Structure 1
């Protein structure tokens, strides 16, 4: 089975969630991300 990298959208979502978690040190939900970045 070949491994592929993340597509750009998934990579961006992972970065946003990771950055937000590092900043807040609390779990990050999809609603929080949607409100903050939309």
Structure 2
């Protein structure tokens, strides 16, 4: 059971990382009209 949970958590964090980097690149391009963090 524990192993499965770790696997699921890992998959979710992978997806979250992709979503986060996607949002970051949009921000850097001004695509969302937000100021980049840097």
Higher relative contact order (CA 8 A, sep 6+): 1
Larger Rg: 2
